[in-house]
Amino acid sequence: MRFHDFSPPTDRAGTVRRCLVRSYVTAFNEALSAVVSDAGGRLVGLGLVSLDDADRARTQMERLARTDGFAGIAIPPLLAGRSLDHGVLRHVLTAAAELDLAVLVHPMQLSRPKWSEHYLSNLIGNPVESATAVAALILGGVKERLPRLRICFVHGGGCAPWLLGRWSHGWRTRAEVRRHSTRPPQEVFGELFFDSVTHDPGPLGLLTAHASKGGVVCGSDYPFDMAQGDPVRFATDHGPDAGTLTANARAFLGL
């Protein structure tokens, strides 16, 4: 899964771009629907939505909710410099909760000058993007206001498990940190889903300790170069058992 930052442009080229994005979303969802339909019940799809217009995104989500084989959508953690607590992304989360659609958050691998070499846009950028989104969801009070929202962050939540204690300390000691939330970060963290792709047993153990028993699912990152080599064995050796991982995945997908 790769995303691009489709920030809403205002010129004529922007209008063309929006049309291309909507055409791509439609083609992607139709193609994915065909793949799922041909899988004999072995696959479940997560569709895409346009992120330049909240109303259009909701219409697309309503269509997905009515389509057999779709359990939810995939979205980026950032859009036009904002995260899940603002703008279109927040509207999308609200609609997902209302329509009972699962949400998978996958980084965009944003290009920044300081990460231009050594594949750092992925090795550092992806975990930072994910952690930013987790923090926005928790500290922005989004999950509190959308208790039915089923949302999963890939790559073990990025840096979030390491930073959770820092967020909790800041929430207790600084008024601006807790301005939009009434529950401590560690409590809300336990209501989120995270996949097991951490590439090291230590981080997966830390994630499992912070997340609820029902919060960790088995991920693979297949078919990308950062895929976990043996995802099921890694997850079961260093995280929850296979039965728990299966139950968690079904809960996230609403099966």
Residues 6+ apart with CB under 8 A from 52: 6, 8, 18, 21, 88
For residue 113, what are its two tokens?
């000058």
- Arithmetic mean of pLDDT over the chain: 93
As a dihedral over the C-alpha atoms of residue 184, residue 150, residue 73, residue 140, rounded to 10 degrees, the angle is -20
Using alpha carbons, list the distances in angstroms from residue 243 to 232, 240, 246, 249.
11, 8, 5, 10
Residues 6+ apart with CB under 8 A from 17: 6, 9
pLDDT value at residue 7: 54
pLDDT value at residue 17: 73
The 10 Å CB-count burial string (b at 16+, else e) for 11-44 is: eeeeeebbeebbeebeeebeebbeebeeeeeeeb
How many CA atoms does the CB half-sphere of 246 hold within 13 Å? 3
Residues of the chain with pLDDT > 90: what percent?
86
Query: Quick one: which of 150, 206, 211, 216 has its CA closest to 186?
Result: 211
What is the spatial distance between Cα 34 and Cα 69, in angstroms, rounded to a whole number? 9
Identify any residues that bridge with 194 across adjacent strands, giving them in sequence order: 153, 216
Phi, psi of 177 (to 5 degrees): -75, -35
Rounded to 5°, angle at Cα 54 from 12 and 122: 85
Collapsed DSSP state (helix, strand, coil) of residue 9: coil
Q: How many residues does the chain have?
A: 255
pLDDT value at residue 22: 87
pLDDT value at residue 3: 53
Q: pLDDT under 70 in the chain at which residues?
A: 1-11, 13-14
What is the spatial distance between Cα 3 and Cα 107, in angstroms, rounded to a whole number? 7
Which stretches does DSSP call E strand in the chain?
A: 45-47, 70-75, 102-105, 151-153, 193-195, 216-217
Q: Say if CB 181 and CB 139 are below 8 A apart.
A: yes
